[in-house]
Structure 1
Amino acid sequence: MTDHEAHHRHPLDPASAEEFDAGRAILDAAGLLGPNTRFAYFGLEEQPKHEVLAHRVGDALRRSLRALLIDVVTGELADVVVSLADRSVSSRRVVDPAVEGQFPILEQDFVRAEEIVHADEGWRAAMAKRGLTDVSKLRACPLTAGSYGFEDEKDRRMVRVLAFVQESPEDLAWAHPVDGVAAYVDLVEGRVFRLVDELDLAVPATSGNYDDPAVRGPERTTLKPIEITQPEGPSFTLDGTHLQWQGWSLRVGFDAREGLSLHQISFFDRPVVYRASVPEMVVPYGDPGPTRYWQNYFDSGEYLVGKLANSLELGCDCLGEIRYLDATVTDDHGQPRTIGNAICVHEEDFGILWKHTDIFSGSAQTRRQRRVVVSFFATVGNYDYGFYWYFYLDGTIELEIKLTGILFASAYRGPEWPYATEVAPGLGAPGHQHLFSARLDMMVDGSGNTVEEIDVHGCPVGPENPYGNALTRTITPLRRESDGGRLAAPERGRTWRVLNPSSVNGLGQPVGYTLFPQAAPTLLADPASSLYGRAGFAAKHLWVTAYDPAERYSAGDFVNQHPGGAGIPAFAANDRPIEDADVVLWHTFGPTHFPRPEDWPVMPVDRCGFALKPSGFFDRNPTLDVPASTKHGGEHCHADATHA
C-alpha cells in the first residue's frame, strides 16, 4: 500500500488482503499459529463510534483485526485481537464452549464430515439397508447441531449429517433425500458418535434438474429484449467505498460474517444511520421427528454468510450501468481470498415519484422516482439470499431481501404428517421460517435520539366525536430497554419513529425517521424450547438498546452450539435508558414458509424487508426540485400543459 493510498483510507474500509497478511504474520510471530490452527473468522475489529466520528482525512489509522482460532486437534478456541498499527497482539482469550458456544463452521468441516460418515460402518450399514451401497453417490450434508443438553454431546464440537443421493455430477442431490437417518459427528475426534436410524422411507426418485430440457421443457421464445442504458453514465459517484448520490452519502463495508454493511449514512449532509447491517438470520424448521427436530440454522453466526457471497455477472445478476466492488475474505488458514464483483452498485428507475393533474389550474405534473441500489447475493447450502439496500430521492431507505434457491426436502410421509407439504411425487418440504435481524445504529441529526411507538385507532362516539368518524394516534415513548422489546401490530398500523428532540424542523417539530416494519409472525418455536433460548432476538419485531460497540450480533458472538440466552435479550436485560440517547434498533422480519409445488425444483424469488422514511426530517417534500422527465423526442413531459 502506498503512502497516498494509506492517507485516504478510512477506519471503516473493509479489511484488505494486505491487512489480513499482516495480521496473520503478527499472530504467527506471537506463536499463536500452529499446524493444527484454523481461522473460523478473521475480520475488521471496528473502532468505537466516537473514534470513527472524530477521524479526519490525514489522521493515522488505528486498525485492528479479530481472529477466532480453533485448534482442530485439541478443540481449543481462542478469541484474539491484533493491532495492525502496533504490530502486536492486543488481547487473547480462551473461550469455554460449554458456556459461550462454539466458533463457526470451517470450510474443511464440510469435506471432513463426508469423509467421516463414508468411513463409518454403522452409517454404511444403514445406507445398505436402504439399497444404497455405492457411497460415492451419497452426499453427506453436515449441519449445525444446536444445543440440547444431551450428555453424550457435552464438550463436543459437532455437526449432524443428513444424506442425499446424487446419481451423477450434474444431478440435483437435494431432490433425493435419504430420510430417517442422521449421523452425529464429532469433528475433533473425527468419528460418528451416534447414529439415529428412525425409519426407512423411500428415496424420492423424481428428477429435480431444473436446467435439464427433459424437466423444464422447451424454452419460451416470446420474450423480447429489454435494454437499460445510461449514455452519460450513472448519477452516483463511487470513490473507493464512499458512495454519493443525490444528497446521499454512505460508506460500503463488507465482512465475512455479516456480508454487506453500510456506514455513516447521511442525506444532504445530515446524519441518519451510523451503521446498518443484517448481523443474523435464523432458519428454524418445523419437523419434530427424531431425524430433523434439530434443524435450525443461523446463517451468519454459524456459517458466515459473507464468505458465501457470489461473484455477480452483468446481464445476469445486475442490469444497467453497474459499478462493482470486490470483497476480501479469508480461508481456514487465514489466507486472503478475493470474491470478484461481490457487491453491485447501480441506479434504477422506480416509477412515479409524484404526480398531480389539477382540476382548477390545469397544471399537469409528473416526476419519476429513482433509487440507488447496493446489493450482494450469497448461497448458503440449498438457499440463495439477495440483500438489497435502496436509497430513494425522497429520503426513504429500504432493505429488501430476496429468497430463492432449493427447498430443503424430506421424504413425504403423507397427510397424517402435517409438518411438510408434498411438492413432487414422494418429496416433502417441511414448513419453516426465515427470520432476519437488521441492526440499525441510528443517528438522526445526531446521537441523541428517542424512539416513539405510534398506533392509529378510531375514536368512540362522544361529545367531541358525535358521528364516530374521528381517528387519531397514540404515541408512546420508549424510555428504557425494558420497554424496547415490541411486537408489530398491523391492525393498529404500528410504526416506530426515531426522533431527535434537540433538532427541530421549520414547523418546530423534532426531526425524525420512521421504521415501517414487516408485520409477519415472529419465532414460532415454543418458549420452552432450546431454539427459543438461542434465537431470542426473533421473539420480537423490534428491540431498542443503548449503543455499545461490543453488542454487534443479534444472537451473541458465538452462536454455534451456544446453550442459549445470549444476544439481544441479554443486552436489553441491562435496562439502560434509551430516551434522548445513542440508540440501536434491531428489527426482526421474514417469511413463514409452507412450501408450494410451485416452489420446486427451484424457488421463484420471495421478498421481505422494511422501510425507513423521513418524518419531519424536512419542512416539505424534498423532491420538488426533481426535473421533469423527457419523452423520446427530447420534449419534457406535459410541456404543453398550463403550469401553476
Structure 2
Amino acid sequence: MTLTEPNRTITSPLASLTPADIEQVRDVVTASELFTPTSRFAYIGLEEPHKREVLAYLEGSGPRPDRQARVMLLDMATGHSTDSIVSIDGAEVISTVVLDGSNGQLPVLIQEFDEVGPIVASDQRWVDALTARGIAVDSVVCVPLSAGFYDLPEEEGRRILRVLAFQQNYPEDHPWAHPVDGLCAYVDVAARTITRLIDSAPLPVPVEGGNFDDPALQGAPLTVLKPISITQPEGPSFVVDGESVTWGNWSFDVGFDPREGLIMRQLSFFDGVEQRPIMYRGSIAEMVVPYGDPSPVRFWQNYFDTGEYLFGRFTNSLELGCDCVGEIHYFDAVLADELGNPQTIKNGICMHEEDFGTLWKHSDMFTGSSEVRRQRRLVISFFTTVGNYDYGFYWYLYLDGTIECEAKLTGILFTSSYVEGSPYASEVAPGLGAPYHQHLFSARLDMMVDGVSNAVDEVDAVRLPVSAENPYGGAFTNSVTRLSSESDAGRVADASVGRAWHIVNTEKTNRLGRPTGYVLLPEQAPTLLADPSSSIAARAAFTTKQLWVTQYDTAERYPAGDFVHQNPGGDGLPRYMAADRSVDGEDIVLWHTFGPTHFPRIEDWPVMPTDYAKFTLKPYGFFDRNPALNVPPSELKHACSHDSGAHEGHASHGDHGDHHHGA
C-alpha cells in the first residue's frame, strides 16, 4: 500500500518484499558469520511490525517502523539451522537464534527433495527391494515426503524425509498410476543415508495408465459446448495502485509471502460517511493433509503444506483465459530462491470481477414497485501445486459487505495398491487405491471490526418447549455466549443449532444502539479424525476445533508453530492459548479450521474435478441498513437476453437468473 502526501510517496511497512529488498537481505547475510559455502536460504519473508506501530504510522501519529526480514538458514552439510531478523533499512543482522531441532526443524528445501533420489538409488537395500519386485531402479521415481514425528531414536536431531516409490514406464507416463507399495525409505538428507528401510509384503504394481492428458483416454471432444464470452466493455471497476486496491466501497492491500502465499491486508468498507476497518490481515496460515491408512509404509503420512513445504514457493504463473477470465489484473509474486536470489513468479496472483446473480429483488403487491439489482464480486486468487495436489485459494468481496474465502482442490490423488476390502482406501482403477484423507486449512483472521476492541459471541439457535408462553410449540430463539478468555475460546461447530460466531466491537454501536459486528459462518465438516493420543493430533492441535480466538501477538503467526517439520507437538495454538489472556474487548485474532474429508470416488481419477471448501464473513449490525441500496440497475445495453437473435432493446431490467461468470 502507498500513502500519497504532497510531494512524496511513502511505502507501507507491510509492502511485500521487492527484488531489491531480497538482494539487500542476501548480501547482508552472506557477508556475515552465519553463512558458509553450504548454507541455503530456507525462508526469506517480511518480518511484520507490531500492529499498533503500523496503525500509528498510517494514522500519522507514529514513526515509520523499521523494515525487516526474517531469514532462515540451513547448512546442507551439517544441518546447522538459524533463524535471524535482518534490518533492511539498516542493512544489518539484528538477532539470531540457533535451532537445536528439539522443537522442530526448518522447512524442507527443494534441494533436499532433489537429492533424495540419488541417495536411495545408491543404497543396495533399496536396489535389492526393487529387484525382488522385478523393478529396475531407473524405472522408479521417488516421492520424498515430510517425516512427521514418531520419536524414533535414530532420528533425533536429524533432518529426515520418508520416501515412497512409483514406477514410470516411459518419460510421459504419469507415475501416480503405478505405486510401488510396501516399500519405504527413511532418509537422513544431510548424512545422505537411509536410516531405516521398511520392506513389508510386496503388493502388485497397478498396470493401467492414468495419463489424463492423453487424447485416447480423454475420448472424443465435447464439441456441443458453445463459447461463453465475458466482456467488460468499459473496463474493470477496480483501481490498483501498487498493492493497494479500491473496488466499489472496498479498500484493501494485496500481499504475498513464500509460506502463506496470498495475504489480504487492511480490508475496509466505505459506508457513505467513513472508511471503516473490518480485517487487518487474512491468510491461510497452515494446512495439513492427514491420511487414514495405518499400513507399515503409510501410517506417518501427514503433510503440512504451508509450514513444512512453504506452499507459496510453488505458486503457479497464471495465464489469461486459463485460470482467470474476463478483465484481469495480475500481481507478480516475488520470493527468494535457496541461494538468496530474488525470483519473480509472473502473474502469481489474479484479480477480476464476476457477475454473481441477484443482489436484491422485490416485486411489491401493494405499490407495484418492482426492482432488482445484480450482485457482483471481486475475486483475488492464487493457485499452488504441492506434489500431486493443486490448491486454489480465492478471496471474494461482495457489494453487500460479505467476505468469503474458498479453497479449490484439484490435481491427482496420492495413490496406493488397492487391497480388496480395505477399510482405509477407495479403489479408483483396477488394483489402484486412493487412501482416505482430510484437507484441513487454518485461516488466520486478524480482525479489526470498527477498530481493535473486539470480542466474539457464540450464537446458537434454541428450540423452546411448549409452555404458557409458547402454547403451540412454534417458538424458538437464540442463545448468546461471550467468549471471555483464551481458556474457553477453542470452539467446535454444531450444525444442529446453526452455530455461528459474531465478532463485535465492544465500543461502537449502530443506530439501534447495538454493537457493530461481523458473523463468521462455518461449513459443517469433521475436525481431525485421528485419535486424540496420536502424533498428528499433538502436532496439528489446531485441527481439533473449528475456531480458536487469541489475543493479538505479532510473534504468533502460525497455528502449528514456527517450525513444523519434525515438531513433536504442543506448539502453536496450544502454547499461545496457555497464557489464558482476555479476548473480550481486546485486539483479537480468529483462527478458523475448515476443509473436506475425502473418501475418493472413482470419478476423482485420473485427475480430480475441483472440490470446494469455504467460510463466510457477513456484516451483522455493522451497517445501519442494507449497504447495497445504492447499486444502480443494470443498463439496458448490458442486460441479458434469452434470444440470441434479439435486439438489445428487447432486454429488460428483470432478473435473468444467477449467471456466475468467471473462473
Q: Same fold (TM over 0.5)?
A: yes
Tell me which amino acid in the other structure corresponds to 1:13: A
Aligned with 1:176 (options 178, 181, 184): 178
**Offset at residue 631 of structure 1 (A):** 3.2
Q: Could you tell me the TM-score, scaled by structure 1's length?
A: 0.97
Matches within 5 A, 1:154-233: 154-233=156-235
The answer to whether the aligner puts 1:102 opposite 2:105 as a matched pair is yes
Aligned with 1:64 (options 64, 68, 80): 68
Q: Secondary structure at the match of 1:110?
A: helix
Aligned with 1:310 (options 311, 316, 320): 316
Match of 1:642 in 2: none
CA–CA distance in structure 1, aligned partners of residues 540 and 65 of structure 2: 36
The answer to whether the aligner puts 1:475 opposite 2:480 as a matched pair is yes
Match of 1:559 in 2: 564
Tell me which amino acid in the other structure corresponds to 1:90: I
Q: Secondary structure at the match of 1:22?
A: helix
The answer to whether the aligner puts 1:86 opposite 2:66 as a matched pair is no
Matches within 5 A, 1:136-147: 136-147=138-149
Match of 1:571 in 2: 576
Match of 1:39 in 2: 41
Q: Secondary structure at the match of 1:42?
A: strand
The answer to whether the aligner puts 1:419 opposite 2:424 as a matched pair is yes
Q: Secondary structure at the match of 2:354?
A: strand
Match of 2:641 in 1: none
Q: Secondary structure at the match of 1:566?
A: coil
**Offset at residue 29 of structure 1 (A):** 2.1
CA–CA distance in structure 2, aligned partners of residues 364 and 411 of structure 1: 61
The answer to whether the aligner puts 1:382 opposite 2:388 as a matched pair is yes
**Offset at residue 561 of structure 1 (A):** 0.2
The answer to whether the aligner puts 1:582 opposite 2:587 as a matched pair is yes
CA–CA distance in structure 1, aligned partners of residues 650 and 579 of structure 2: 61
CA–CA distance in structure 2, aligned partners of residues 28 and 150 of structure 1: 35
Matches within 5 A, 1:277-292: 277-292=283-298
CA–CA distance in structure 1, aligned partners of residues 7 and 91 of structure 2: 19
Q: Secondary structure at the match of 1:8?
A: strand
Match of 2:549 in 1: 544
Matches within 5 A, 1:431-446: 431-446=436-451
Is the Cα contact below 8 Å between 1:420 and 1:594 reproduced in 2?
yes
Matches within 5 A, 1:362-401: 362-401=368-407
Matches within 5 A, 1:195-344: 195-268=197-270, 269-344=275-350
User: What do the CA deviations read for 1:104-146 (whole angstroms, capped 9, x no partner)?
Assistant: 010111110011011111001100111112x222100000000
The answer for unaligned runs of 5 or more in structure 2 is 638-648, 656-663
Tell me which amino acid in the other structure corresponds to 2:100: D
CA–CA distance in structure 2, aligned partners of residues 340 and 423 of structure 1: 36
Structure 1 pair 588–6 and aligned structure 2 pair: CA distance change class (3 A): farther
Q: Secondary structure at the match of 1:318?
A: coil
CA–CA distance in structure 2, aligned partners of residues 244 and 8 of structure 1: 18
CA–CA distance in structure 2, aligned partners of residues 447 and 169 of structure 1: 56
**Offset at residue 31 of structure 1 (A):** 2.4
Structure 1 pair 6–258 and aligned structure 2 pair: CA distance change class (3 A): farther
Aligned with 1:122 (options 119, 122, 125): 125
CA–CA distance in structure 2, aligned partners of residues 634 and 280 of structure 1: 51
**Offset at residue 569 of structure 1 (A):** 1.5
Aligned with 1:534 (options 533, 539, 544): 539
**Offset at residue 55 of structure 1 (A):** 2.0
Structure 1 pair 232–634 and aligned structure 2 pair: CA distance change class (3 A): farther
Structure 1 pair 562–215 and aligned structure 2 pair: CA distance change class (3 A): same
Tell me which amino acid in the other structure corresponds to 1:118: A
Aligned with 2:625 (options 605, 620, 629): 620
The answer to whether the aligner puts 1:505 opposite 2:507 as a matched pair is no
Aligned with 2:26 (options 9, 19, 24): 24
CA–CA distance in structure 1, aligned partners of residues 278 and 101 of structure 2: 38
Tell me which amino acid in the other structure corresponds to 1:441: D
CA–CA distance in structure 2, aligned partners of residues 23 and 487 of structure 1: 42
CA–CA distance in structure 2, aligned partners of residues 32 and 528 of structure 1: 39
Q: Secondary structure at the match of 1:97?
A: coil
Is the Cα contact below 8 Å between 1:321 and 1:346 reproduced in 2?
yes
CA–CA distance in structure 1, aligned partners of residues 80 and 605 of structure 2: 42
Is the Cα contact below 8 Å between 2:407 and 2:614 reproduced in 1?
yes
Structure 1 pair 6–532 and aligned structure 2 pair: CA distance change class (3 A): farther
CA–CA distance in structure 2, aligned partners of residues 613 and 144 of structure 1: 37
CA–CA distance in structure 2, aligned partners of residues 588 and 60 of structure 1: 34
Match of 1:77 in 2: 81
User: What do the CA deviations read for 1:596-637 (whole angstroms, capped 9, x no partner)?
Assistant: 000000000000010000000011111111111123439761
**Offset at residue 219 of structure 1 (A):** 1.3
**Offset at residue 178 of structure 1 (A):** 0.3
CA–CA distance in structure 2, aligned partners of residues 70 and 536 of structure 1: 27
Match of 2:151 in 1: 149
The answer to whether the aligner puts 1:610 opposite 2:615 as a matched pair is yes
User: What do the CA deviations read for 1:271-308 (whole angstroms, capped 9, x no partner)?
Assistant: 00011001100000000011000000000000001000
Is the Cα contact below 8 Å between 1:61 and 1:85 reproduced in 2?
no
Is the Cα contact below 8 Å between 1:68 and 1:78 reproduced in 2?
yes
**Offset at residue 6 of structure 1 (A):** 9.2
CA–CA distance in structure 1, aligned partners of residues 431 and 654 of structure 2: 59
User: What do the CA deviations read for 1:55-108 (whole angstroms, capped 9, x no partner)?
Assistant: 24996562111111111111111001100111111101101202x101101011
Q: Secondary structure at the match of 2:636?
A: coil
User: What do the CA deviations read for 1:509-532 (whole angstroms, capped 9, x no partner)?
Assistant: 110000001110000110111110
Q: Could you tell me the TM-score, scaled by structure 2's length?
A: 0.94
Structure 1 pair 556–191 and aligned structure 2 pair: CA distance change class (3 A): same
**Offset at residue 555 of structure 1 (A):** 0.2
Question: What is the RMSD computed on CA atoms of the aligned residues?
Answer: 1.6
Is the Cα contact below 8 Å between 2:54 and 2:65 reproduced in 1?
no
Q: Mean Cα displacement is larger for which, 51-60 or 561-570?
A: 51-60
**Offset at residue 5 of structure 1 (A):** 12
Is the Cα contact below 8 Å between 1:628 and 1:636 reproduced in 2?
no
**Residues matched between the structures, number:** 634
CA–CA distance in structure 2, aligned partners of residues 638 and 205 of structure 1: 56
Tell me which amino acid in the other structure corresponds to 1:488: A
Is the Cα contact below 8 Å between 1:505 and 1:618 reproduced in 2?
yes
Is the Cα contact below 8 Å between 2:53 and 2:65 reproduced in 1?
no
CA–CA distance in structure 1, aligned partners of residues 7 and 74 of structure 2: 34
**Offset at residue 7 of structure 1 (A):** 3.7
User: What do the CA deviations read for 1:150-192 (whole angstroms, capped 9, x no partner)?
Assistant: 1122121010000011112211111110000001100110011
User: What do the CA deviations read for 1:188-224 (whole angstroms, capped 9, x no partner)?
Assistant: 1001111100111111111100111221111111111
Q: Secondary structure at the match of 2:161?
A: strand
CA–CA distance in structure 1, aligned partners of residues 42 and 449 of structure 2: 36
Tell me which amino acid in the other structure corresponds to 1:86: G
